[in-house]
Structure 1
């Protein structure tokens, strides 16, 4: 049953890859589709999911705390490993992003398939807490001392991120408690319906199998850390925080999904090893077809 639920999501990714490689509908379509999803459709999904979320629920607060604990422990482990095996920022940045970042489209799609509207609310809270944190960690890992000299630039970058802004708006509306007036809720829900399928198609279009020919050992190790070690760590931390139900599912799912394709863009912008990052994104996405159902079954969350 779990495999039947999840395989259509990966079928969309594969379809996106095939369409992009055959040049359909046009090479310029995919960057434009990614932009409209990133700036309009996906923020609409986040706001509409957060507006009715029970922000004050103790389980929600524990989910946020468990999510941050998982990410910070993973980042700390990577930092310790770097002290043992010195690595330049251009390589360490992609490696860290490969472990702590997550593909939001796939995470929400899996959560929606397994836990419905309740899962989407919890997932939106997870994103509101974790998206700013993983972005800051990624920038620090790639630019190191430079970012410490210009903290204001990092803050401005965060405040221009449409996902972070959407999370802030959604949380504010949830705290105010009066919802979205005048049909705005329906409008945002209509926009949101296109976000996940379009996002998964774009994920497939961005895959670069040619990047797998290099760094086979480091890529394989990073895949194991992200897709196997991270969900196990998340499950242990979730148990320690007393999470169950939809909250436990969200915490594990977002720790078991592959890293974000946008990590490649950030890596290129900050002069990191783009080929290494592309290999991580591609390898993790391909391996996740097997590891996500396996991890959820083993942990009893499927």
Structure 2
């Protein structure tokens, strides 16, 4: 219980602080967008690269753990696609639920394992990021192409969703590139170069606090009041359904101990704000996504501590 209070709750207190800072106007409104961009392009990639470069994967069931996480995401995606094909419901709304049922908030997903388990937990979470980020991007874009509202003139459609556009988006994603760099340095035995490595390590220290403050600043409680059945579904699927699937596939593939714990926690996170950006670009009900993101983050402040308590 003490570990829960001293590790998980501070993560959500930082998120709350970000919300209060923005709500009170203690920083200029124009601060948050470049701060989030700085975190996404430089701080978080530095954290992922340095963590993966230093990690010891020798005793880690990396392939089985990655397989369990991907299978859980694939099963959830297949369920929602089948639901849409059978019911012919509102396509953009279904893509909103699908995105927010599989896309993790990487910032929170790195913070909690690190706070609970230190470097070993962070290394496992970083490895999960390396396989989850490309997977959820491919699934989300494919779903938006099939079921999104691709009206003429919709921003981003025709480039972001095309085959070459998708490949370009994946190979230029800073999180994916950072994971590849860290894994290459690790597996080659080179490790972090002395000067560059220390520079990246210093840069990485700012990643998690800045990221969590930005998550809080992006919350919109006013929008969340317009929630409906779609939001309830997305919250239940992401915070309960996906972690249960992940636990099941981990046990099926023989993943136990800390890898199972971190994998389940990672797939029990609220969705990423990138879901909103992609929905806005590709006709995927962005206002609904915004509602879901806020409610999921609020509910996760209760469900994640309970999950961690259960896993302990």
Give the TM-score taking structure 2 as reference length.
0.91
Shift in alpha-carbon separation, 1:93–1:56, aligned structure 2, 3 A: farther
Q: Does 1:223 align with 2:235?
A: yes
Is the contact made by 1:89 and 1:143 (CA closer than 8 Å) also made in structure 2?
no
Deviation at 1:174, TM superposition (A): 1.4
Partner Cα distance (2:146, 2:29) in 1: 35
Alpha-carbon displacement from aligned partner over 1:19-76 (angstroms, at most 9, x marks no partner): 1112221001000100100000000000001112345656112111111111111111
Is the contact made by 2:130 and 2:180 (CA closer than 8 Å) also made in structure 1?
yes
Per the alignment, residue 145 of structure 2 pairs with: 143
Superposed counterparts of 1:260-299, under 5 Å: 260-298=272-310
Per the alignment, residue 94 of structure 1 pairs with: 96
Q: Does 1:170 align with 2:206?
A: no
Name the SS of the counterpart of 2:29 in structure 1.
coil
Per the alignment, residue 19 of structure 2 pairs with: 17
Is the contact made by 1:231 and 1:295 (CA closer than 8 Å) also made in structure 2?
no
Per the alignment, residue 54 of structure 2 pairs with: 52
Give the TM-score taking structure 1 as reference length.
0.94
Partner Cα distance (2:159, 2:31) in 1: 34
Q: Does 1:194 align with 2:206?
A: yes
Q: Does 1:248 align with 2:260?
A: yes
Deviation at 1:200, TM superposition (A): 0.5
Gapped runs of 5+ residues in structure 1?
none
Partner Cα distance (2:38, 2:212) in 1: 14
Stretches (4+) displaced over 4 A: 55-58, 145-149
Is the contact made by 1:13 and 1:203 (CA closer than 8 Å) also made in structure 2?
yes
